[in-house]
Chains A and B, each alone.
Chain A
Amino acid sequence: MTSTEPRPDLASGESRADRFVRELAELKIPDPAAARAALWLRLGATLMVLGLVLAVSAYFVSHNTQNPLDQRDGLALGLGGIAGSVVGAALFLRYSLTGFLRFWMARQSYDLAVLADRLSERDLARDLTSTDPAPR
């Protein structure tokens, strides 16, 4: 059976539990944050596809009519579709790249830490007070 009296952090006098409560209180938690990024990602993908569909449809609308007013409508719709598609693609890239870059950064940081350790281990193995046998 365990004691339920937590040990305080010797340095600050604050227990881990107290720090946890304080940090959670300071944590900037957006209200319904659960799926905000996923929502933007989905919205981006939807907009990208819809924009393209709209642009293609608008082409056929303007192509299959002799009426200049309808053709202009088609033109406006097509441009709107392309604009929507570009905005959607930007949103999609922004939120999908975030996830990818987060992983990539973690990997980079790990590789750099390994490299730093290797270099420091090599330096520790060498006698830094001796003359360098192969001056660079």
Chain B
Amino acid sequence: MNALLELRDVRAAHDGITVLHGVDLSVAAGQVVALLGPNGAGKTTTLRLAAGIHPAQSGQLLLGGRDVTGVDARDLARAGVCLIPEGRGVFPNLSVRDNLQMMTFTGRTRAEIEEIAYTRFPVLASRASQTAGTLSGGEQQMLALARGLATDPAVLLLDELSMGLAPLIVTKLYEQVAEIARQGVAVLIVEQFAAAVLGIADHAAVLVRGRVELQGSPDGGLRDELSALYLGSSA
């Protein structure tokens, strides 16, 4: 299957310091790819680069086979690239309903957006009038996902979905992410904690100091190699 999202030998920098040293990565439609690695490895930069927010020093960003390196992030978002940033990306002082209504800029009606959100995350329906900032972390993440889904994404980029959440909630959220991918969405997940995401990932890559040190299928012995990489011993 052709890749919907592809990074080819991408290099990127922060304040003149190179943080990505030639990253190659691809995600096909319906595929979940997990990008793992320690803090400061360049995972979030990779994700921001894929969304068109962070500029590439060199290399190519391809979407649907087309080179879109340097294209405005707003154009990519309009085309169907959705980034859910770390920290949930909801309006904390607006209610759940208002947060969803903000997504009507996509052309969908409020009713359609609420239907998408409440069908996938029924708990949000019972919290519709509640201010988003007072929701639990898991519910806020559900709201962020629901807002993302309202944009009808073809490529979904998730940054640290599990941050600060209980393992049970993380498992439930990842089940939803897998379901979203099954509908043909290419999903790239950045995670620091491998256990949960490897359960749903079709492919995983480990980024260390801006380089993909390891990649493969979680079924193909990647878990052992991952342990070896983290613990510094041979698999």
Contact = CB atoms under 8 A, between A and B. Distances in A.
Nearest to A15: B184
Contacts of B65: 21
B12 interface: no
Interface string B71-114: 11001000110000000000000000000011011000010000
Nearest to A113: B104
A6 B69 CA distance: 26
A3 interface: yes
Contacts of A32: 70
Q: In the complex, which of the residues B32, B65, B181, B184 has the most CB atoms of chain A within 10 Å of its own CB atom?
A: B184
Nearest to B32: A2
B71 to A, nearest CB: 5
Interface residues of B, number: 40
B-side interface mostly = loop
Contact of B30 (A3, A35, A110): A3
Given A21-B64, A106-B105, A109-B105, A7 B71 contact: no
A5 interface: yes
27 contacts: A1-B201, A2-B30, A2-B181, A4-B30, A6-B30, A6-B184, A15-B29, A16-B184, A17-B29, A17-B64, A17-B154, A20-B79, A20-B80, A20-B155, A21-B4, A23-B79, A24-B79, A27-B75, A27-B79, A29-B71, A34-B55, A34-B72, A35-B55, A110-B104, A110-B105, A114-B101, A117-B101
Interface of A: 1-8, 15-17, 19-21, 23-25, 27, 29, 32-35, 106, 109-110, 113-114, 117
The 7 nearest A-B residue pairs measured at CB? A6-B184, A34-B70, A20-B154, A17-B29, A21-B64, A4-B30, A24-B64
